[in-house]
Structure 1
Amino acid sequence: MDPRSQVLLRQRERFIDQDLLLAGLPADDLLAELPQAHGWSWHAGEAAVLKQRFDQRCHFASTLSDTPYHSAVLFLPKAREQVDYLLQTIAARLNSGANLYLVGEKRTGIERAAKQLQNLGRAIKLDSARHCQLWHVELSQPISAPRDPWQQWSLSNPPHTLAIHSLPGVFSHGRLDKGSALLLEHLADLPGHAWLDYGCGAGVIGASLKQRHPAATLQLLDVDAFAVASSQRTLEANQLDAQVIAADSLAGFANASLDAVISNPPFHQGVDTQYQVSHDLIREAHRVLRPGGELRIVANDFLRYPPLIEQHFAHCETLAHANGFRIYRAIRR
């Protein structure tokens, strides 16, 4: 069981007999241990696992359901700007006098986040174990819903301009990151017309491609519900037609079904550098690409992606190197 869940269960008497919201919960046995609890997940892979086991007791979405709760636990997300938004959103759904808890690992900034919890009331540390901490605040007065969380900014996409929309916690929220900026400069000559933007975030790459190539059949994929919602809004705002998919892998794609997979893949898991997501992407990309299809990704230049790419594609070409990033290309033979 996840160590954060273990810390919660050390305080089981606080949670066992009440309508409880578990926001951002891990895919473990916690819902089985707390039969009155309901989960809100924004991770497609974890939500699918929980849905299989607990059916109606967990929902995957970028918004909180209207179900009333007596108390709530927020599992600390890694994006600091998302902590404020989620705390405010959850607190606004609870009655005055309700209990709000925050749990997370020490190394991911739980003590810093506890200071953000202070904005809602007097925060008290209840427990510290398994390298995690559990904090609590009693909501002494009603909390207002957060102001409009959406950020919009304009991206030059010659000869057009794109309106990009994003929610807190989405990668590169409210701005163009250096890696995506470099990738946008090197998207010419993609083969075929069936393309996938993997790890789409706010839809910067996918929307740019669709605006430049209206006839292309474009799909955007992300594991995060907030990213999926952001990409959908970006496409709608620019009157672009593309499919947005919530998934944590390419498992749902048929063999040899795509002409190109384009990505600015994530490489962090918490505070650690983690290659597994990218490794899975590279392996699965080879399976779903047609002969002559292409994988094109951007990555920090300190990440050793070429050996991973060569392991599956037998070759790896560097298209560009600038500002600490590289563009890699591999063709399925």
Structure 2
Amino acid sequence: MDPRSEVLLRQAGLFGGELLLAGLPADDLLGHLPQAHGWSWHAGEQAQLAARFAGRCYFGVEPGARACEAAVLFLPKSRELTDYLLASLAARLPGALLYLVGEKRAGIERAAKQLTAFGSPRKLDSARHCQLWQVRVDTPPTAPVLESLARHYSLPLSDGELQVVSLPGVFSHGRLDVGSALLLQHLDDLPSGHLLDFGCGAGVLGATLKRRYPSSQVTLLDVDAFAVASSRLTLAANGLEANVIAGDGIDAAPSGLSAILSNPPFHQGVHTHYQATEHLLRQARVHLLPQGELRLVANSFLKYPPLIETHLGPCQTLTEANGFRIYRARAR
């Protein structure tokens, strides 16, 4: 059981009615709170919850239509995303109770101050290195429009400027990260066919690929609903069309790919996870055509080449700069 869920269950008497659990972990919490339902924006956690608690968890960037008497937000990493989520929930709960739960190292005490916009928050519990806060929504906000919170910026590329639309919570919100900037400089000579942007974020790489290789089919894949929505906005802002899908890792990708390109993420919340990237390297060959190519950027300290060579083929380092390397390999 996630420690945040354990803290909630210490106060289970507060949560007997129609409760919305926003950003809930994929554990047994819904089993302990039979009248509760969930809202998830993580495709992997959503899939696990849907398998165990069919029909009780909604996936998307908005809370969904189902009514609730109270809500709990599991604190996300991004402050901007927390602002949006709290406002979205508080707008639905005038005069009702809104709870915030999170780990101390994730900044729960700082985040609790964001509750003061709606009323007078109070701390209910502190255990398992987590805290639980409560506020009665005496000052409900207007429901926020997610797209109005987007950050827009332009990238000067060799074939013209690319317009990027970044939503709260998306990796490298409102700016181009160093790794992606390096990868954008090494997109030449890709095989024609079906190209995949794995871990698409705001859609910078996928949109660039579609514009540079217009005759190729391009798919953008991310585990996060806000990244999927952001990628669609970036494509639309540049008059481009591509397939954008939500899925938990490379297993959700189509087969018959001519190339997989990625600036793979290795953070989930405040935790560091390499499993998704390592699984990508192990399974890329299953999704690539013979001689299909994997091209990715990674921190120089990550020991990916042996894994690539074991599961795919000889690994070539195309360049190294600013603590990052670009790797290329072809499926045997």
Give the shorter-chain TM-score range: over 0.9
Matches within 5 A, 1:1-333: 1-16=1-16, 18-95=17-94, 97-146=95-144, 148-253=148-253, 257-333=256-332
Distance 1:254 1:231 in 2: 18
Q: Runs of 5+ in structure 2 lacking a partner?
A: none
Distance 1:270 1:153 in 2: 25
* Structure 2 residue identity aligned to 1:162: L
Please report how far the alpha carbon of residue 308 of structure 1 lies from its aligned counterpart in structure 2 after TM superposition.
2.4
Contact kept, 8 Å, 2:222 with 2:228, in 1: the verdict is yes
Q: Runs of 5+ in structure 1 lacking a partner?
A: none
Q: What stretches of structure 1 move > 6 A for 4+ residues in a row?
A: none
Please report how far the alpha carbon of residue 274 of structure 1 lies from its aligned counterpart in structure 2 after TM superposition.
2.2
Contact kept, 8 Å, 1:191 with 1:292, in 2: the verdict is no
Question: Counterpart of 2:211 in 1: which secondary structure?
Answer: helix
Q: TM-score, normalised by structure 1?
A: 0.95
Deviates more, 1:189-198 or 1:307-316: 307-316
- TM-superposition CA deviations, 1:42-81 (whole Å, max 9, x none): 0011111112222221110012213332111000111222
* Structure 1 residue identity aligned to 2:112: A
Deviates more, 1:41-50 or 1:62-71: 62-71
Deviates more, 1:106-115 or 1:130-139: 106-115
Distance 1:269 1:252 in 2: 18
Question: Counterpart of 1:8 in 2: which secondary structure?
Answer: helix
Question: Counterpart of 1:181 in 2: which secondary structure?
Answer: helix
Please report how far the alpha carbon of residue 253 of structure 1 lies from its aligned counterpart in structure 2 after TM superposition.
4.3
Change (3 A) 1:272 1:40: closer
Contact kept, 8 Å, 2:118 with 2:140, in 1: the verdict is no
* Structure 2 residue identity aligned to 1:266: P
Please report how far the alpha carbon of residue 8 of structure 1 lies from its aligned counterpart in structure 2 after TM superposition.
0.5
Q: TM-score, normalised by structure 2?
A: 0.95
Number of residue pairs the alignment of both structures matches: 330
Distance 1:121 1:31 in 2: 28
Contact kept, 8 Å, 1:298 with 1:327, in 2: the verdict is yes
Question: Counterpart of 1:56 in 2: which secondary structure?
Answer: coil
RMSD of aligned Cα (Å): 1.5
Distance 1:265 1:9 in 2: 35
Distance 1:319 1:73 in 2: 47
